[in-house]
Structure 1
């Protein structure tokens, strides 16, 4: 994980490293951000085995065996890690009632407790209780200054081993980007020139809209818009697992990407959820699948925008950890994320496929813009402007499943499971619309 001299001593450069600008931002009082990762296991945890594995893997990583220097909090320094301080195994009744609700409440409670800055900023909670989809649940809490999602997923993979060969590291698939078959000519030059012009124009427009948003163009007040100070409220975490195969079926039928479909499902789910909330606020009876739900109760021209995180590493996909730790690596470890503002189309569409079509059109345009690079450079301004909102949605694929994870402010979204229902139902409607066309 690092360099050492001939006597095996760790170099001074590895002993102390300055915090990156992004890491300093995540430590500022207003944006003290943590990453919560939930892992379900099909067997009960054996804490001693887990700790032994962490000693051989996680603790060899410099970030997980370093703490902040107490005097200025701007440097990482190597330290001795006591695993008993980081691996928490609460004494729980394995047959506890309402285990899913208990796990949700346990994780929500974690968001209210600050981390001890005198030791490395990570924890692993082992909950040996059976939930609806796991025999045991592990909860990682990691300070965001230690790395972004791409870094941490690479680290997680490096901590695992192949089932057929327990000594072998998992292989990371390479992303091979096809090159252009045209190497010159008038039409190639004209196409390239037009692409550059479009890139410049889209970037200027996006940066201008970003500035206008900061000054006065706020989102429409809706039931899910949090009040000032929402970033300090307790968060509730819920999840729902859907079929990745269904998403791929839509992707292939419409010649899109998985991200296009996921964004379309999100727009559809939020539209259905907000429509339900407006029905309820109007005091009308809620009839599932009935006329009240099919009729749009949404205000016209709702302005609702999402802040989408974009990996700024030049090589896409998950990278091998060894590559990320190399000096000068373009896929280096850290917080290398930019942001794009994405307008959501909130409306009840007659054709469910319109949600993914509009999503693809928006994403395709954003791909021809340098907005995420500009916002990466101005990350402090982005977070100061938009902060941590009342709703965060993550999509994580694994084998043939896609897990939707929501982090919500219960004051703005008191029924997050209902939102999960709407997202799941939206995928079903989009999937069925594709099947009918075949």
Structure 2
């Protein structure tokens, strides 16, 4: 029986509008050939019960407000098993790349629940088979959807044990009068910086565009941008080695690595662009919780607002320019990333921007707010988002999963970067505007970036 479930959140409306339509592709690489005989029962009994949004469509009521309406799900409409041409070398990497590019630019029908699954039964250099979940970003953010995915999977070594997720523990804050008094003068400076950051954020979203560079074209489009997807994998041990040497966070090291890799790519394509004005929008999870929730906790209304949905914010982080100084000492990219990300996390610019979006929605409507978000994305050079995966190997229906990464499709940028950690590996994936960014060169520059950073860290005196 059809029934109206719940209002669509403001962010959900922004992400599914005429101005902006964003999708998430989750790619699971299997260790053995895929047996899909239980696909229907797994989707019906495990996936759909996680959240009513997976069996709902987005509708508008008589007041113009959008809501999730529960409908009957015809699973056969959501399952795709492509047939590739036979080839002699038995590996289908090129076909998989083309297929991912194809589905990334296709819109999901709005008259059925906003997700689909693609089962690719062909071997590649990375896997014996690949499963791709395509979900509309309006359903939830990476945190929500990763939690949902983990609820469908089991540990390959022991299905009865929970996954280990390496979330950092948030330090407990304690009130101390002396500390407050000592920090009182810094409050005014912090307030001034927050206002300054908020003003700059408005300018960046409205008027100030990044320079045109080898990673930022001026090509405007109203449909999904045609992208090609590439990725590179690093050992977490290498990242931790640099982290311990510098006393920063894992995210700081990865951000610095990415920024240096981007500048190295710019330098290779056009030397002068390595000193251009370029900005990365780094996504920050705004939930005050650590660790993913179980299925029961996710659907529990008392935890729902904290665990599910789109709860993230953009941090405008300038990409450091490439100079003789930081090329000689690439660790400067990590220090600058550390400084900027910490400063923006503690700034009030992010909540102020959220308040501004709510005001735009209230007085001009959700489409106007969606255009503001699109402008924010369009005026930057790249978006960087990350998901933390488990330490142990996962399995789906007793089929072990060798690798995991995701990609965001639909942003109006030429370059989108995602980071996934899984089984001691860091997977950095790139959504690259096809015909504009060279994916092999970008991959090579990222690998070169890590080599330079590791070498510089090891040269630090003990």
Secondary structure of the structure 2 residue equivalent to 1:69: strand
Residue aligned with 2:459, SS: helix
Deviates more, 1:305-314 or 1:398-407: 305-314
1:116/1:248 CA distance change after superposition, 3 Å: same
Q: C-alpha separation between the residues in 2 aligned to 1:129 and 1:107?
A: 14
Taking structure 1 as the reference length, the TM-score comes to 0.85
CA distance 1:23–1:116, shift in 2 (3 Å): same
2:79·2:118 contact (CA, 8 Å) conserved in 1? yes
For residues 175 and 95 of structure 2, the distance between their equivalents in structure 1, rounded to whole angstroms, comes to 60
Separation in 2, partners of 1:147, 1:356: 30
Q: How many residues are aligned here?
A: 406
| Structure 2 partner of 1:409 | 433
Structure 1 residues not aligned, in runs of 5+? 1-8, 279-296
Structure possessing the higher radius of gyration over alpha carbons: 1
State the Cα distance separating 1:119 from its structure 2 match: 1.3
Distance 1:185 1:76, change over 3 A: closer
SS at match of 1:310: strand
The whole-number CA distance in structure 1 between the counterparts of 2:302 and 2:290 is: 17
Aligned counterpart for 2:319 among listed residues 333, 344, 362: 344
In the alignment, is the contact (CA less than 8 A) between 1:310 and 1:372 conserved in 2? no
CA distance in 1, matches of 2:39, 2:187: 52
Q: Which moved more, 1:297-306 or 1:52-61?
A: 297-306
2:342 to 357, 364, 369: 364
CA distance, structure 1, for counterparts of residue 95 and residue 293 of structure 2: 35
Change (3 A) 1:86 1:216: closer
Is the deviation greater in 134-143 or in 229-238?
A: 229-238
Displacement after TM superposition at 1:123 (Å): 0.6
Counterpart of 1:289? none
Q: Which has the higher strand share?
A: 2
Secondary structure of the equivalent of 2:108?
coil
SS at match of 1:118: coil
Give the alignment partner of residue 163 of structure 1, picking from 150, 156, 160. Answer: 156
The normalised TM-score by structure 2 is 0.81
Aligned partner of residue 263 in structure 1, secondary structure: helix
Specify the alignment match of 2:390 in structure 1: none
Alpha-carbon distance, 1:386 to partner: 2.7
Alignment of 1:32-431 (within 5 A): 32-60=21-49, 61-69=51-59, 74-92=66-84, 97=89, 99-166=92-159, 170=163, 176-180=169-173, 183-186=175-178, 188-194=179-185, 196-230=187-221, 232=223, 233-278=225-270, 297-298=271-272, 301-329=275-303, 331-348=306-323, 349-377=327-355, 378=357, 380=370, 381-387=372-378, 388-413=412-437, 415-431=438-454
For the residues of structure 2 that align with 1:385 and 1:194, how far apart are their CA atoms?
33
Instruction: Please give the per-residue CA displacement for 1:158-192, whole angstroms capped at 9, x wherever unaligned.
Output: 11123354356546567543335x74343x12244
1:20-39 Cα distance to aligned partner (Å, 9 max, x none): 11111111112011111111
Provide closer, same or farther for how the CA distance between residues 23 and 362 of structure 1 changes in structure 2, counting only shifts above 3 A.
Answer: same
DSSP 3-state at the match of 1:331: helix
SS at match of 1:150: helix
Offset, 1:316: 4.1
Query: In 2 relative to 1, CA 201–399 (structure 1 residues): closer, same or farther, beyond 3 Å?
Result: farther
Shift of the 67–213 alpha-carbon distance from structure 1 to 2, 3 Å rule, reads closer
Residue 404 of structure 1: CA displacement?
0.7
Secondary structure, aligned partner of 2:209? coil
**Structure 1 residues 42 and 176: CA distance shift in structure 2, 3 A:** same
> 2: CA distance between counterparts of 1:39 and 1:183?
45
Asked if structure 2 preserves the Cα contact closer than 8 Å seen for 1:323 and 1:331, the reply is no
The Cα of 1:425 is off from its aligned counterpart by 1.2
- In the aligned structure 2, how far is the partner of 1:179 from the partner of 1:112? 44
Structure 1 residues 346 and 410 mapped into 2: Cα distance closer, same or farther (>3 Å)? Answer: farther
